[in-house]
Structure 1
Amino acid sequence: MRACQIIEYNKTHQIRQIPIPSTSSLRPHELLLKIAVSSLCHSDLEYQSGTLSNTLPVTASHEGTGTVIAAGSAATAFSIGDRIMAGQTFDRCGECDDCRGPEAYQHYCSHQGPMMSTQRNGAFQEYLVVDARQATRIPEGMSFLTAAPLACAGVTVWRGILNAEVPKGGWIGIVGSGGGLGHLGVQFARARGLRVVGVDARDEGLDLTDQVGADLVVDARLGKEEVVRRVMEATEGRGVDGTVTLSDAKSAAAMGCAITRKHGTMVYIPVGHALEIPFEEVIFRDVRIKGSFLCSPREATDMLECVVQHGIKVQSTIFHGLEEVPKAVEQLRAGTYQGKGVIVVDEEAAKAVR
């Protein structure tokens, strides 16, 4: 089968021929998918650069969707022909505190196997083995084109909003609101009955933030003092109840804290570098900092149902064929497309909506 792989760090992805996974080698909890649509995530740039730990060569992408064509003996929750949104994690131990704790902790298992695009091949290939325990069935009425970007961007920002713990009717800030995760986060927050402050530093990001319905849109280029002033004015001097920071800009975490009310929560999601937050925010204003990473299968199911019920739109730029991956990667690096870069692997499957 064809696979688009990272061969060397800081080099262009390459199309290679690799073996199709054997159905006879599936372990009890595994599924074999025929990939329909996969998506490009900002962290794919970190894998390409070697910032995140991965073994080369490795197939890129951790946002995959496809149809079940074979299943292990214990993967009884799914049937041949089911349409699946793949989870990124594999082989959690089932014995540690995380695995035995709430479901929302299980993907933090310290003893689990490698994730997609690390030491395990990802979704930019024609067939893919996934862990059935971390997979989610795509609901009726949703296309693969919609589902693929939700496999990482959707689940990540959904859990970030849950972790911000903003009550219905409250204010939530989203720093980086006009990106692939951010524009989904604005819509998720509004679907949950929250009022949204969207902060972005790009004209196209600000436009998209406005299009998807943020109650207040603020340009980060105005500077922290002016951004805070506008947020305080809109929130009657309190600040937002919680913030989800999605931007990896050096100043983004500090901005997220600054617009958050005293004793509120700032949830931080980007990977790749250290946070820089003034001590005054943590000590004198008691802003609580949380990290957030993916979500559980049950939370992912809730997220997919929210997309269907509320008509949430995924802003995507569609690329046709694995050969288009290098172009998509360079456009992502340059920031020249809106929303998510989506790669159609199987054209016929991509057209179908059940």
Structure 2
Amino acid sequence: MASLTQTVNRAATYAEPGTLKICIQELPIPRPAAGEILVRLAFSGVCHTDYAFCMNKFRGIPATPKGQIGGHEGVGEVVAVGDGVRTVAVGSHVGIKYTAAACLNCENCLVGGESSCTSTATFKLSGYMTPGTFQQYCITSAQYATPIPASLDLAAAAPLMCGGVSVYAGLKRSGLQLGDWVVVSGAGGGLGHLAIQYARALGARVLAIDAGAKEAFCRELGADTFVDYRALDSDERLAEHIHRLTEGGAKVALICAASSKAYGQAPSWLRFRGCVVALGIPDASVSQAISIFQVVSLELRLIATAGVKTGSRLEVKECLDIAARGLVKTKLQLRKLDELETVFHEMHAGQVAGRVVLDLQ
């Protein structure tokens, strides 16, 4: 069992939001208040959303506070509980998600939209306006912490707290049926490599789209076929190629890449009553608009779980259960907390295959 033998809490903070500068600090170990738990984090995944918050890339929201502790894919062991906590025991393994706390009573929460909770008093987002998981000790809501199945490796579980549940929730909400074709755009990345596996676990056939260097990686994960988007010289040729490979178009286009161009292309990849699932969020405004003519004529749907708006507590449980059965395996690179700034630079350059996970032990 973990213990409070440490006297400091090592944490990575955003030193100058708008830049990739990270500061490693030694902070006091926090103490849980009523209804809270203290988690000794073992691992934290690094999400593209963390990079975006560090760089203040999202428009229309307040800037990230200087000195914020980022991260929202944390897993570890409960080492202390606050007053009134009866549902979470010291020594249990839990995960901390992007949504760190929600009221669970507002209209949005009641229909599973917990990441859009309307309660200003209760709603907390990890790693943005609330200290996140790039630290060794983290306070979180006992009510909202996610139990981790005993058979699931903790390092592999970390990226499922956001990346895994995002793609799983998107596929589930898309109305995917057994044997349907799913196009995964950005298939070799942190979201995409999980999307391939969850789609396969749900009985779909997968067409992976990414740069040619990631073809072997995607096929190893279970992709039925692969398209190198750089090898085709026009949107029309890409669409024709996808329709040929899927015998008439895909049922679901899962956009895992933070690419405005992919959103503009996606409707042309689909068959009648197909569905575009928005996951990756472009840093800039969408410059290639979705064709309303295609949407109307093909009766398409557009749904959003979005990279920063992950699934409900039930969807997290379901996605963890699938992984615990061995149907999904996170492809990860273990790195140290001190390497976070380097990791962000690698993400910016598109050099990361799979998911980076920080070892906080």
TM-score, normalization by structure 1: 0.90
CA shift, 1:302, in A, is 1.1
Displacement of 1:88 in angstroms is 2.1
Q: Which amino acid letter does the alignment assign opposite residue 107 of structure 1?
A: S
Mapped contact 2:99–2:114 kept (Cα < 8 A):
no
Aligned to 1:351: none
* CA distances 1:290-349 after superposition (whole Å, capped 9, x unpaired): 1113111221111111112134221111113x2121222222222223111111011xxx
Contact 1:89 1:131 in 2 (8 A): no
The aligned residue for residue 5 of structure 1 is: 13
Structure 2 segments unaligned to the other structure (5+ residues): 1-8
Q: What letter is aligned with 1:325?
A: L
3-state SS in 2 of match to 1:133: coil
Following the alignment from structure 2 to structure 1, what is the Cα–Cα distance between the partners of residues 189 and 100?
A: 28
Please name the residue that 1:234 is paired with. 245
Q: CA deviation at 1:142?
A: 1.6
Count of paired positions: 338
Give the letter aligned to residue 284 of structure 1.
S
Aligned to 2:310: 294
* Residue number in structure 1 paired with 2:135: 125
Q: Distance in 1 between matches of 2:169 and 2:244?
A: 28
Q: Is the 8 A contact 1:164 1:244 kept in 2?
A: no
Determine the C-alpha separation between the residues in 2 that align with 1:55 and 1:280.
42
Query: Is the contact between residue 20 and residue 344 of structure 2 (CA under 8 Å) also seen in structure 1?
Result: no
What is the rounded CA distance, in whole Å, between the counterparts of 1:17 and 1:81 in structure 2?
Answer: 24
* Whole-angstrom distance in 2 between the partners of 1:110 and 1:58: 23
Instruction: Output the CA distance in 1 between the equivalents of 2:315 and 2:301.
Output: 23
For 1:32-71, list aligned pairs within 5 A. Answer: 32-52=38-58, 53=62, 54-71=64-81
Task: Please give the root-mean-square deviation of Cα atoms over the aligned residues, in Å.
Answer: 1.7
Deviation of the 1:203 alpha carbon? 2.6
Cα drift, residue 74 of structure 1: 4.5
Cα offset, 1:234, TM superposition: 2.7
Structure-2 separation of matches of 1:311 and 1:173:
19
Aligned AA for 2:299? D
- Cα deviation per residue 1:21-57 (whole Å; 9 max; x = unaligned)? 113xx231x2210010111111112111112442221
Alignment of 1:317-336 (within 5 A): 317-320=333-336, 322-336=337-351
Is it true that 1:159 corresponds to 2:172 in the alignment? no
1:197 paired residue among 199, 207, 228: 207
1:315 aligns with 2:331: yes
Instruction: Tell me the residue number matched to 1:219.
Output: 228
Q: Which amino acid aligns with 2:295?
A: V
Give distance in 1, aligned partners of 2:20 and 2:285.
25
Paired with 1:76 and 1:224, the residues of 2 have a C-alpha distance of 56
TM-score, length basis structure 2: 0.88
In the alignment, what sits opposite 1:264? 274
Post-superposition, which runs of at least 4 consecutive aligned residues in structure 1 deviate over 4 A? none
For residue 76 of structure 1, report the CA deviation from its aligned partner: 2.8
